[in-house]
Amino acid sequence: MKRLLISLSLLLASLSNAGVNLPPRGDAADREEALRAALPDIFAASAEQYRGMLKRLEGTTDQFPRRWEKNALVTVGPKEWTSGFFPGSLWHLYEHTRSPEWKAAALHYTAMLEQVRHYSGNHDIGFMLFCSFGNGLRLANPDGYREVLLDGAAALCQRYVPRLGMIRSWDSYKNPVIIDNMMNLELLMWAAKQGGEKRFADIALSHADQTNARHFRPDNSAYHIVDYNPLTGKIFGYYAGQGASADGPWARGQSWGLYGFTMMYRETRKPEYLARAVKSADFLVRHRNLPADAVPYWDYEAADIPEAPRDASAAAIMASALLELSTFAEAPKATLYRDTAVRQLLTLSSPAYRAPVGANGNFILMHGVGHLPGNSEVDVPLNYADYYYLEGLLRFKRLSAKLPAEN
Interface with ligand GLY (CB under 6 A), residue from 41, 95, 180, 186: 180
Spatial neighbors of 179 by CB under 8 A, at least 6 apart, are 211, 215, 222, 223, 224, 253, 254, 256, 257, 260
Residue 252 contacts ligand GLY per CB under 6 A: yes
The residues in 255-294 that bind ligand GLY, with binding defined as CB under 6 A, are: none
Residue 324 contacts ligand GLY per CB under 6 A: no
Q: Which is nearer to ligand GLY, 32 or 180 (CB)?
A: 180
Residue 299 contacts ligand GLY per CB under 6 A: no
State which residue has the least CB distance to ligand GLY.
Answer: 180
Nearest residue to 178 (alpha-carbon basis) of 252, 116, 105, 110? 252
Residues identified as active-site: 124, 180
With contacts defined by CB under 6 A, how many residues of the chain interact with ligand GLY? 3
Nearest residue to 88 (alpha-carbon basis) of 126, 120, 59? 126
Q: Which is nearer to ligand GLY, 159 or 252 (CB)?
A: 252
The CB-of-191 to ligand GLY minimum distance in angstroms stands at: 21
The CB-of-82 to ligand GLY minimum distance in angstroms stands at: 8
Report DSSP letters for 73-107, one per residue: EEEE-TTSTTTTHHHHHHHHHHHHH--HHHHHHHH
**What CA–CA distance (Å, rounded) separates 135 from 156?**
18
Question: Per-residue string for binding with ligand GLY, 136-175, x by CB under 6 A?
Answer: ----------------------------------------
How far, in Å, are 51, 125, 136 from residue 58 at the CA level? 11, 26, 22
Q: Which is nearer to ligand GLY, 252 or 276 (CB)?
A: 252
Name the DSSP class of 216.
Answer: B
The CB-of-115 to ligand GLY minimum distance in angstroms stands at: 21
- How many CB atoms are located within 10 Å of the residue 293 CB? 17
Q: How far is CA 153 from the centre of its chain?
A: 19
Q: Which is nearer to ligand GLY, 145 or 388 (CB)?
A: 388
Distance in angstroms between the alpha carbons of the first and the last residue of the chain: 46
On whether the CB atoms of residues 139 and 94 are closer than 8 A, the answer is yes
Residue 242 contacts ligand GLY per CB under 6 A: yes
The CB-of-15 to ligand GLY minimum distance in angstroms stands at: 30
The CB-of-7 to ligand GLY minimum distance in angstroms stands at: 42
Q: Which is nearer to ligand GLY, 17 or 83 (CB)?
A: 83
- The residues of the shown chain that bind ligand GLY, judged by CB under 6 A, are 180, 242, 252
